[in-house]
Amino acid sequence: MLKQQLNFKLSQKLSPQQIQLMKMIQLPTQAFEQRIAQELEENPALEGGKEEIENFDDEFSNDEFGDNYDEGNEVIETDINVDDYLSDDEVPSYKLSANNYSADDEERQMPYAAGTSFTQHLMQQLSTYRLDEKEKEIAEFLVGSVDESGYLRRELQEIVDDLAFTQNIYTSEDKVEKVLKIVQELDPAGVAARDLQECLLLQLERREHTPPVVLAIEIIEDSFDHFSKKHYKKLIQKFDITEDQLRDAIHEIEGLNPKPGGTYSGNTRMVEHVVPDFAIKIIDGELDLTLNGRNAPELHVSHDYTNMLKGYKESKDKSKAQKDAVMFIKQKLDAAKWFIDAIKQRQQTLFVTMNAIMHHQEEYFLSGDERKLKPMILKDIADKINMDVSTVSRVANSKYVDTPYGTKLIKDFFSESMKNDQGEDVSTKEIKKILEITISEENKRKPLTDDKLAKILLEKGYPIARRTIAKYREQLDLPVARLRKEI
């Protein structure tokens, strides 16, 4: 049975302009510059650079835009006022510039050095070996299969099959392994190893065979599992050696490179350069916050487009084509004016948000001591600046701030709170820092277990469960006590 009913509900919808503004707030400096470049390319009514100040007719109005055309089917809007789009009235240039940015602060692009890739480096060495045509093709295929860490992470049978299907080369595992031994002679030592054990052995074999190196080879070959798990007592018993001898052998192993491809100096992998969006300085004991000047570009509405509107008003005969052109101009002027306003709103939102964060964490920014970081969640800042939590999140997740203690990701200043034994709220960042210091100062011959760490932090006034200690330790990328053991 069908029936009608009336429901009332309250909903909120964001305008396209609001959605675009939220997206712009989320952009870091470099992406924001690309967004501006895109808008300048797409909207001819928007221009960059300093504006030439001219006096325009303030009495210009658009009453005549109310003319109907096409037999009254369309009406041109009448609410346009060219003065609203003139940057010398509504958006003066000083509002589109930052006081910490001058002509001397031009951003120079970081040059990238040209060079050979890791694979090319290996190929060049391969050309110095005497190989027959088939061996050379197999060797080149093996080099091409080496990953950026320097490992060959494929089974030999898979390589044999690939050579047959893709290169029309029919061979055997034994032949491929023979050629692989040649490839493993290339620099850097350890390249083309199939696992960590083989990688370490390849590097040790190239060293002078002193007693510690010989012992290190035996340990890696015969007791790699005991070594990786730091079962030192078992190693001493198995090889009938002293603690000093084991320490010397371990010292040789620790000097090896587990990723031989990662340190190749000619590696041309692109490196991402972080551009800080804010800068915090300490001036006369007070914190000074500035927004990167690249977030405050000089933009203004094109005078050519406003002159087109003046020409339309002054013309007596207004054709349909002219009226269509005026509608297009109006749309572009609206878009240009909104974009300039959005940039101003973005600047204000970024500055206000970061300013609130800076004052909330004032003790940290003045000292640089992470133990002085206060508990802070997104809602704390959102309440201070009367904005939505999502807005604060957009600012925090993708922006960096240059501080006297290095460039930091803003979201790293946020943390949950926990109660200490005095009932005071302390930041989990503070607890992690104390945990990290405690572990760094422990006796490495007898590392502290998570239970002992929990007792030590309890003595310092932080009642934390062992499971929480384990979680924080993992977040700090610190291994369990057994793997932190040294001799």
Q: Are residues 440 and 472 in the same domain?
A: yes
Q: Are residues 140 and 205 in the same domain?
A: yes
Q: Are residues 88 and 143 in the same domain?
A: no
Q: Is the per-residue pLDDT at 57 higher than 70?
A: no
Q: Are residues 132 and 249 in the same domain?
A: yes
pLDDT at 73: 36
Q: CB under 8 Å to 101, separation ≥6 — which residues?
A: 292, 293, 294, 296
Domain-located, residue 402:
no
Question: Residue 193: beta bridge partners?
Answer: 151
Q: Tens of pLDDT along 219-266? A: 888 888 888 888 888 888 888 888 888 888 888 888 888 888 876 644
Q: Are residues 246 and 124 in the same domain?
A: yes
Spatial distance between the Cα atoms of 308 and 44, rounded to a whole number of angstroms:
13
pLDDT at 110: 47
Label residue 353 exposed, middle or buried (CB < 10 Å: 0-12, 13-18, 19+).
buried
Structural domain including 422 reads 418-484
pLDDT at 310: 66
**pLDDT average, residue stretch 461-485:** 81
Domain-located, residue 82:
yes
Q: Are residues 369 and 327 in the same domain?
A: yes
Q: Which residue has the higher pLDDT, 374 or 310?
A: 374
* Domain final residue pick, 329, 360, 385: 385
Q: Tens of pLDDT along 155-179? A: 888 888 888 888 788 888 888 888 8
Q: Are residues 248 and 319 in the same domain?
A: no
pLDDT at 13: 54
Nearest to 46 by CA among 298, 308, 347: 298
CB atoms near residue 39 (< 10 Å): 18
* Domain final residue pick, 208, 235, 254: 254
Number of domains in the chain: 3
CA-based radius of gyration for the chain: 34
Domain-located, residue 41:
yes
Q: Are residues 82 and 189 in the same domain?
A: no
3-state secondary structure of 199: helix
pLDDT at 315: 64
Q: Are residues 130 and 231 in the same domain?
A: yes
Q: Tens of pLDDT along 281-308? A: 999 888 899 888 887 777 777 777 767 7
Spatial distance between the Cα atoms of 226 and 245, rounded to a whole number of angstroms:
16
Q: Is the per-residue pLDDT at 454 higher than 70?
A: yes
Q: Is the per-residue pLDDT at 74 higher than 50?
A: no
Domain-located, residue 203:
yes
Domain-located, residue 261:
no
CB atoms near residue 187 (< 10 Å): 12
pLDDT at 1: 58
Q: Which residue has the higher pLDDT, 65 or 374?
A: 374
Q: For tokens 């330790």, what's the residue?
A: 473
Q: Tens of pLDDT along 410-452? A: 888 887 767 666 666 677 777 788 888 888 888 887 888 888 8
Q: Are residues 237 and 122 in the same domain?
A: yes
Spatial distance between the Cα atoms of 374 and 388, rounded to a whole number of angstroms:
21
Share of the chain above pLDDT 70, in %: 76
* Domain final residue pick, 254, 271, 298: 254
Domain-located, residue 175:
yes
Spatial distance between the Cα atoms of 69 and 399, rounded to a whole number of angstroms:
50
Please answer whether residues 273 and 28 qualify as being in contact, where contact means their C-beta atoms are separated by less than 8 angstroms: no
We report the CATH number of the domain holding residue 440 as 1.10.10.60
Please answer whether residues 180 and 290 qualify as being in contact, where contact means their C-beta atoms are separated by less than 8 angstroms: no
Q: Tens of pLDDT along 95-144? A: 444 444 444 444 444 444 455 677 888 888 888 888 888 888 888 888 88
Q: For the chain, what is the mean pLDDT? A: 76
pLDDT at 355: 92
Domain-located, residue 267:
no
Residue 52's pLDDT band, with cuts at 50, 70 and 90, is low
Q: Are residues 206 and 171 in the same domain?
A: yes
Q: Are residues 31 and 126 in the same domain?
A: no
Domain-located, residue 401:
no
* CA 142 to each of CA 118, 174, 177, 182, 379: distance values in angstroms, whole numbers, following the listed order: 13, 14, 10, 10, 55
